[in-house]
Structure 1
Amino acid sequence: MQLTTLLPLALASYAATQTQGLTQVLASQNSTLSMLNSLLATQPALTKALASAQNITLLAPSNDAFSKFISNPANKAIASDSAALMGLLEYHVLTSTVPASSFTTTMQFIPTMLMSSSSNSTVNINTTLSNVTGGQVVGGVKSGSKVEVMSGLKEISTVQTADIQFSGGVMHLIDTVLTLPIAPSMSVVDSSLTALAGALKNTNLLTAVNSLKDVTIFAPSNAAFQAIGSAATTLTEQQLAGILEYHVINGTVGYSSLLTTGLANESFPTLAGGEVKIENVDGKVFVNSAQVTITDILVSNGVMHVINNVLNPSNTTATPIPTATTQPIAFTGVSSASNVPFTSGISATTTAPSAAMETAGSAKAAAGRVEGNIGAVGVAALLGVVAAFLIW
């Protein structure tokens, strides 16, 4: 009798647990997620949408994650900016159900709910939060026994508790608030690509590059610009602009997973009009004769990869030497400068993981786990870095 009575009760309890909505599951985790719940309470439209959404994954920052986030004074401003807060929260919602078992040792790029602009934001930011077809993405990868999520500036969040089920999908508790991808002009500064930042400024391309949709940007390192330093003072503004535009593929977002597979060994039109050829040779990715050294710096309108040479739109037949430790320069008659060109008045405002050079040189290595400087840059990048550009 006792077993007969208890079994239906147990089954009913199990069924109730399996069909709990997100609101109920968040409430049940309030001791860990009270700060997230408080922020969601200020966004009734988003909360309502999430409550009825199906086939989603919520990456839920813990209280410790939010405490670390708001310890940066710049991040506190987000609490009083409804549109910016909405964007941040939307970026933590994947538009598909992704259990922990779906992550592999190869980086996957998963769309989020962040699709709208920050046009209603009171924060002085002249850019959109997302200008990527299908929604801004995060990168997800399995590192040992852990699942890690890569966001803007290659910041890493680690899943602490995985696979909390609710009726509309699954929730993972993470230890760090995700960093919103920011505009390319800001990302190059945070990634210590100060020569590129200065070159963009000198050609007045900042706004143009920021406003494009669905881009792949190949960003020459400071050393790459220094290697052609003798030409820096002789290039006209128009010539420099043409060179920079040759580094931008417009209309295709080529994450590392595509560079090594779907986009490999193909040519793509650039913003300058000419084409660049992408090649994957023994795990090394090349653009014309330049090697990709850092992949997947997520930006507001696509993705940026660092390369070790400046591309030359007048030398489209430049080919790589895969076995060489350094690649031939695509410009003739140039020499290295003692100082990095275009950097006058430009300095990196933060030291993000995206500023750390890869040593392996392969897209797979560059897309893997980022070690070291994992800071709560988050919306501080949106609020603080802007100040550096407002004076330009």
Structure 2
Amino acid sequence: MASIQTTRKIASFGLAVVMSAASVAAMADVMVGGAPMLASKDIIDNAVNSKDHTTLVAAVKAAGLVDTLKGPGPFTVFAPTNAAFAALPAGTVDTLLKPESKPALTKVLTYHVVAGKWDAAAIAKMIKDGNGMASIKTVSGGTLVAKSNAGKVMLTDEMGGTATVTIADVYQSNGVIHVIDKVLLPK
């Protein structure tokens, strides 16, 4: 007959296994652009499946950043949707996708990437520790300012534009993606 202590240990272990499995399932169940985003895949392998990010994927390819974002990272990517790109002034995306615009395109795209894996909890902590605001250095060398508004993370770019994180914590094998509703612009 098992002791109460042994029974509690078994129950605790079982609960830990169930919670771990639930955490893994939750990470794998995030849907973006009608496709499951699997934590076992890298940023590019997931992004190409999102119908909401075809413009971003085309831009990443045009800038030659595919291999970088398939690399080990970790990276945090603030990923603008197709609608975010469509909201830019007419002709902006077409101009950025031209070969001669590769340096400008690369600067805009790397402005959406942060070194390290910064999930929503880590960003919220940075905001709290910064008394309601956090400065985030991007791979391009620019800065984003993060704030919280009604439970949502808001990012302000160097041009004064603001994007909202609409889907947070899309875990990848080499980082995390946060879907945003606007394209962030560096100086």
| Aligned residue number for residue 42 of structure 2 | 183
Q: What is the distance in 2 between the residues matched to 1:239 and 1:258? A: 30
> CA distance change for structure 1 residues 244 and 139 in 2, over 3 Å: closer, same or farther?
farther
What's the CA shift string for 1:131-181, capped at 9, x where partnerless?
A: xxxxxxx874xxxxxxx94123516xxxxxxxxxxxxxxxxxxxxxxx543
Q: Secondary structure at the match of 1:190?
A: coil
| Aligned residue number for residue 283 of structure 1 | 151
Q: Which of 170, 173, 184 in structure 2 is aligned with 1:300?
A: 173
Alignment of 1:364-383 (within 5 A): none
| Aligned residue number for residue 255 of structure 1 | 119
| Aligned residue number for residue 150 of structure 1 | 26
What's the CA shift string for 1:236-279, capped at 9, x where partnerless?
A: 0111111000000103x221222333345111111101111111
Question: Is the CA contact 1:153–1:298 (under 8 Å) kept in the aligned structure 2?
Answer: no
TM-score by length of 1: 0.38
Aligned length: 164
TM-score by length of 2: 0.74
Tell me, which stretches of 5 or more residues in structure 2 are unaligned? Answer: 32-37, 157-161
> CA distance change for structure 1 residues 153 and 186 in 2, over 3 Å: closer, same or farther?
farther
Backbone CA RMSD of aligned residues: 3.1
> CA distance change for structure 1 residues 204 and 247 in 2, over 3 Å: closer, same or farther?
same
Percentage of matched positions with identical amino acids:
29
Question: Is the CA contact 2:81–2:181 (under 8 Å) kept in the aligned structure 1?
Answer: yes
| Aligned residue number for residue 201 of structure 1 | 61
> CA distance change for structure 1 residues 255 and 139 in 2, over 3 Å: closer, same or farther?
farther
Instruction: Considering fraction of residues, name the structure with more helix.
Output: 2
Look up the equivalent residue of 1:221 and give its one-letter code. Answer: T
Look up the equivalent residue of 1:18 and give its one-letter code. Answer: T
Question: Is the CA contact 1:212–1:250 (under 8 Å) kept in the aligned structure 2?
Answer: no
Question: Is the CA contact 1:153–1:191 (under 8 Å) kept in the aligned structure 2?
Answer: no
Question: Is the CA contact 2:127–2:148 (under 8 Å) kept in the aligned structure 1?
Answer: no
Q: What is the distance in 1 between the residues matched to 2:63 and 2:155? A: 23
Alignment of 1:66-105 (within 5 A): 98=16
> CA distance change for structure 1 residues 275 and 258 in 2, over 3 Å: closer, same or farther?
same
Ranges of 4+ aligned residues in structure 1 off by more than 4 Å: none
